[in-house]
Each structure stands twice: as C-alpha cells, then as structure tokens.
Amino acid sequence: METPDFGVPPRLAARMSMAEQHAYLRARLTRRRTLMTAGAFATGGLLAGGALTGCAASPPAPRTSPRPSPRAPGAVLAPFGRHLAFGADPRTRMRISWQVPAAVSGPYVRVGARPDDLGPRVAAEVRALRTPELKGVRPAVEQYYLHAALDDLLPGTTYFYGVGHDGFDPAARAHRADVSAFRTAPATPETFTFTAFGDQGVGEAARATGTLLRRLAPAFHLHAGDLCYADPTGRGSERDAYDATLWDAFLKQNEPVARSVPWMVTTGNHDMEAWYSPDGYGGQAARFSLPDNGPGHGADPRPAPGVYSFVHGNTAFVALDANDVSYEIPANLGYTEGRQTAWLDRRLRELRATEAVEFVVVYFHHCAYSTSSHGSDGGVRAAWLPLFARHQVDLVINGHNHVYERTDAVKDGAVGRAVPIGGRTDPTRDGIVYVTAGGGGRDLYRFPAGVPESYEGKPADHESVPTFTWTRSRRARQERVEWSRVRYRGFSVLAVTAHAGTAPRLEVTALGQDGERVDAFEVRRGA
C-alpha cells in the first residue's frame, strides 16, 4: 500500500499520546477542508468542538441521533453485520447492533416468541462515522451503525428478532431467512459454556475460528481485544494507512455466530483509532453497544467504553482496558486518571460479597504473564495484580500475543502450585492461572528461541523459560520464569464451562482450530 503523503511522522507518533495524535490529525485534516458527518460528532468525532487538552475521553454515544436522509430506496439496502451484546443484566437486557451500506430512515428491530410472529417496531439509533480521504490511498468512507436496546426481557427465554428500516421489513416473507434468535441468561444459576479469544482480524484463519465457535454454541463469547486490525500498526496514527472498510468485512465475517451469540468485546492497542476521538475510542462507541456500568458512566461524562462487568449464572465477568495501564504501548497510559483501577477494586469487592457469585473471570488485552513476542506488561502487573490477588480472582484471560499460553497458578509473582494439563487448582490457596488466548486468527507469533511448544499430546519438560517484562521506562527487563506451563503456536479457542450446583467449578479447555484439545484444567474454590 502506498504511504500517505501526509500524516504523523513515525518517530513523532511513537511519542504522542492518543489525544495528541487526534489533535494533530484534526489540525492537518481541517486545513485540507475535510469534514465529518453529524453522526461522527455524536461519537466524539474528528472535528468535535472545544479545545483539546490532556487525554480527554470521547462522550458516550447518544440515545438518539439525527436520521440522515436516505440516498437509495430502503428496499435495496439490506442490513448486515448483526452482532449482539448483553446489557448490564444478561437476564433481562440485550443489545442488538447491525450495519447498513448507506443512510436509511426509521431503523428498528422486531422481536417475538416465534420467527413468524415478530412484534411491533422498537426504534433503533443511528451512529454514523465518516473517515476522511487519504490522498492517493483511499476515498472517504461513510459507515452507518444501528443499535437497539431491549431492557425488559424474560430470563432464560429464547427470542427471535429481525432488523429493518423504512422499505425493509424483516417480518415480510421475503426476509424471513434473515430472522435470528438469542437467549437471555437464566434467572437462577445453571451450567453454561462461554468461549474466548483475542487478536482475530479478517481472513481465512479468522473465519475458521468463528466456525469453531458456531460448533461450540456458547452462551456468549469474550473477545480480548485487537478486533479487526483496521489500524495495522496499533499506534492510531495517520501513517498506519488506517482502513475503516475492514470493519465492514469483520462484522460480515462474524455475523453467522455473532447474530445469535453475544460478543462481549474489550479494547486492544489496535482498537485505538485516533481519527474519531481524543481517546481513540469514538469508532468503538459507534460500532458496539456494551454494558454501561463501568467507570465514567452516570454522573461522570468520561467513559471507558471497553470497561464493564456482568454476571451470568454463578460467574461474574469483568472487562478491562489495558491501554490505560500499559508500559509497552503508552499512547493511552493513564487516560482514566486512575478511575478504572479504583472502579476495579470496588467492583471486585462487590462481586465477592455477592452470594450468588461463585467465580470471577477478568479479561483484557495486554498480557500479565506471557513469554511470546510482546512478553509481559509491567504496567498491568503493577496496577492490577495486587487487586486480583486481594479479591481472589479465579481466572484471567488475555490476548496480545498471538499464541496460546497458560501459566501454572501464580502467587506473589512465582509458581504457587503447578497445574499440569488435566490438573486442578484452588485460587484461594494456590494463586491465579493466567491464559493468553491470542490465537483468534491474526498471524501467529513465536516463543523464545530454543523454547519448545508444550501442549496435550506433545508435552515438553517443564523448565525455566527466558522472557522479558516491559518497565515504565519502556525498557524490556530480562527474566527467566518457571510459570509457563502450556505453549501452543496455533490458532485456538478457549472454552470454559461454569458448572453450577453442589460441585461448582470452572472446566477450562483450549481447542486448536481443528477442534482437537491442546490444554485442559479445572478451577475449584476451597478444593
């Protein structure tokens, strides 16, 4: 791809914060008389008014937004890229999101108990983005995202839904094949399975992991960040030759599973997109509707959109934005000014005090413990590991390194208990197991030279492994570690079954892209 003839110089981009990159791009593009649409203003757009100082976050997407005038008959503008997400309470709240190829009027969703008996229209909101032209690289890109909030559903119930707009009715016989279904979480805990990975991208391998997800039929899927790689270098600068159209391909690619399985995403370094907002998250706010119970909601107008929590059955899930604490990639380091970490401490304390919550799973992008290409992030360790230990988190899932790697139970930075393949661990006694599930589909990384893979069917002797940790000065501190138990250089999916009842436990399994098991272990509290 041809390098743009204007943009943030690479060395300058490496030193800029995300807010500074946004301001730089705004100034450059304003001089070129490139304007954003009203929908982009609503999501903290490139030309949002007011001075830019510090690392201000983008405002939340509005509950209503102007409806652009249609540019083509509604009948020919078929929706695509359907994807679901739970609201703050998965028992009663669901968010339905989709995309249309051009502006439409009157977008809505119909919901019913049967596919042939959908209910009345529930209005959807429009969140539109316009990505400016890169001269000599691509024209301006317009994208229209629709979102409908369903807040009064019945627990443990299957619903059918169709999305439409003026001129395109999903209840019409011609569109009956487009009707999808979802199921709300049960009112009382039941055994369920969820899946997880990060670093998916767009392509053959990414589609194959999605196909495996469909076969597994999870209750929901966790995505640990680096979603589609529209920003290929992960800096958010104009020199990245950012390609917004990859989001269209990403949503189309995952629609076969995401239209019926809620995708609970969080943010990676490639998901910071400086075009749209000072914090880089204006694009994410336009494309996804996630639970609005993290820091920065309510009275605080500075949200962290990839940070939230929800409870499904007997297990609580906490999504975090590691860009806020990363020493390795500091473009957004400290952007919440400590609010995310304070919220995490409060939320973990609340969840541990909730009688129905037996397990707590935390997921985010940058690795706390990994030996592959990015190593481990000292900022994550410094900010969050003491909280994980204090509140006895049961499982931590990361992406970032494009491999599967799993630790023994880690306690005070060392092996608290060996957890071989097929083994069992107790977080109240042994420490926490950390899983790097970065084999979602993007090009794979390697382990350190001379370090063999070690997984089910091909175990290697357990020995110390050379690796490194990023420090605050962005220097790599070398270390040898003994906590790297399982290493698999292949595309993979993590599948976790949360068992309820008299013997609650997390049954954790890693599957290669062919569905063969590469790792398994069990988490039991007080075992």
For the stretch 233-286, pLDDT in tens is: 876 555 567 889 999 999 999 999 999 999 999 999 999 998 899 999 999 999
pLDDT of residue 299: 61
Cβ distance 114 to 160 under 8 Å?
Answer: yes
Give per-residue burial for 104-142: e unless 16+ CB within 10 Å, then b. Answer: beebbbbbbeebeebeebeebbbbbbbbbebeeebeebb
Choosing from 126, 146, 181, the residue where a domain stops is 181
Q: What CATH number does the domain containing 454 carry?
A: 3.60.21.10
pLDDT of residue 13: 52
pLDDT above 60 for 33? no
For residues 357 and 443, state if they share a domain.
Answer: yes
pLDDT of residue 137: 67
* Interval 111-129 mean pLDDT: 96
Residue 3 belongs to a domain: no
* Interval 317-323 mean pLDDT: 98
Lowest mean pLDDT among 96-110, 267-281, 313-327: 267-281
pLDDT above 80 for 59? no
Alpha carbon distance 400, 398 (integer Å)? 7
Alpha carbon distance 165, 302 (integer Å)? 32
Q: What CATH number does the domain containing 105 carry?
A: 2.60.40.10
For residues 319 and 440, state if they share a domain.
Answer: yes
* Interval 178-203 mean pLDDT: 97
Residue 66 belongs to a domain: no
Give the percent of the chain with pLDDT over 90.
77
Residue 47 belongs to a domain: no
Choosing from 120, 155, 181, the residue where a domain stops is 181
pLDDT in tens, 356-378: 999 999 999 999 999 999 999 99
Backbone phi and psi for residue 512, each to the nearest 5 degrees, phi listed first: -70, 170
* Interval 308-313 mean pLDDT: 98
Residue 103 belongs to a domain: yes
For residues 148 and 88, state if they share a domain.
Answer: yes
Minimal CA–CA distance to 362: which of 345, 337, 338, 379? 345
Choosing from 152, 181, 210, the residue where a domain stops is 181
Minimal CA–CA distance to 493: which of 144, 198, 97? 198
Any idea what DSSP says for residue 114?
A: B
Question: Strands (DSSP E) along 87-124, which ranges?
Answer: 94-100, 108-112, 121-123
More confident of the two residues 100 and 51: 100
Question: The whole model's pTM is what?
Answer: 0.90
Alpha carbon distance 305, 58 (integer Å)? 9
Judged on CB neighbours under 10 Å (0-12, 13-18, 19+), 292 is middle
Minimal CA–CA distance to 453: which of 421, 429, 430? 421
Residue 53 belongs to a domain: no
Residue 467's beta-bridge partner residues? 479
How many separate domains does the chain show? Answer: 2
Residue 46: alpha-carbon gap to chain centroid: 23
- Domain residues for the domain of 454 are 194-505+517-523
Cβ distance 228 to 246 under 8 Å?
Answer: yes
Backbone phi and psi for residue 474, each to the nearest 5 degrees, phi listed first: 65, 25
